[in-house]
Amino acid sequence: MGATMVSERFLVTGAFGCIGAWTVKRLVAEGVPVVTYDLPGEPTRLQLIMEPEALAKVTVLPGDITDEAAFERAVVDNGITGVIHLAALQVPFVRANPVLGARVNMVGTAVVLETIRKHAAQVSGLVYASSIAVYGPASIYPPGPLAHDAPLAPATLYGVTKVANEE
């Protein structure tokens, strides 16, 4: 990251999760303005890994990525120029509640993508996290590193939602 990013303002979905929290910490350390967008609650993980002075620089917005109007307001009202989309329900949660899992993981991503499309003059970038789950179980592949162009073979609904978002 460099000085050119300072003019950017990023919104991080799923910022209270593991990858999201470390992403927020790194952006703040680089001097990049950050807005978090996650379900209402305490940003406990952020509080554990960030000094209070650094955390004070973060704008914490409670919100549900499946709420299109609220997400759009968060992007527009906060002058967001880039979205780092990390919000998703993981395998155990999707397995326990498949309908909610599909809604959050696919409809939520559709809301993010549509908001960016509608405000393309303002939002110039998107980072989306994939998952090894799109490739299915390791047992179906030869030993060694998995090539990025390996065939997609998701074995869980979570993996299917990630593939759907990427297609």
Provide the edge-to-edge strand list for the sheet that holds 58-62: 58-62, 34-38, 10-13, 82-85, 125-128
Q: Which of 37, 135, 141, 158 is catalytic?
A: 158
> SS3 sequence, the chain?
CCHHHHHCCEEEECCCCHHHHHHHHHHHHCCCCEEEEECCCCCHHHHHHCCHHHHCCEEEEECCCCCHHHHHHHHHHCCCCEEEECCCCCHHHHHHCHHHHHHHHHHHHHHHHHHHHHCCCCCCEEEECCCHHHHCCHHHCCCCCCCCCCCCCCCCHHHHHHHHHHC
Catalytic residue list contains 128: no
The tokens for 96 are: 């326990």
The tokens for 93 are: 């949660």
Give the residue numbers annotated as catalytic, written as ranges: 158
